[in-house]
Amino acid sequence: MNYFLLAMGGAIGAIARYLIGLALVKKSPISFIPIAMLSVNLLGSLGLGVFYGQFYGEIPRGTYTDPFFLVFGLGFFGAFTTFSSFSVEAAMLYQQKQWKKLYLYVGLSIFGSITCFLCSFLILSS
């Protein structure tokens, strides 16, 4: 049953990531930095903070058997956000020697994601 819950959340998260990314690329086909993946990762971090703050009130540990965590925390948000695509896009900017874009993209992705998570989590868990 745990595998099914994880797969269901992951499938929905991956589809949501694809659809949102596609809509953002269509809306802004040429952007200064990879805006679609940045937006998805920031939104996913914000959503994960909301989820943890609302359902747990803390950053949960040992929740790999909790059905809500499997569907949403690990499945949906794990598939919705993606470090691998972020890494590929950052590597492409590196190969193209687009240093300003690379630093901006990496900085916004990492610090922005942590900030989005912490802000939403702290607001809801307090």
The fraction of the chain above a pLDDT of 90, given in percent, is 79
C-alpha 77/C-alpha 22 separation (Å) is: 18
- Domain of 11 in residue numbering reads as 2-125
78 known ligand binder: yes
Give the pLDDT confidence score for residue 30 in this predicted structure: 79
C-alpha 44/C-alpha 18 separation (Å) is: 13
Give the model's confidence band at 61: pLDDT under 50 very low, under 70 low, under 90 confident, else very high: confident
Between the two ends of the chain, the Cα-to-Cα distance in Å is 33
65 known ligand binder: no
Mean pLDDT of 5-9: 96
Give the pLDDT confidence score for residue 29 in this predicted structure: 76
Is 80 exceeded by the pLDDT of residue 2? yes
Give the pLDDT confidence score for residue 101 in this predicted structure: 96
Whole-structure pTM value: 0.90
Number of folded domains in the chain? Answer: 1
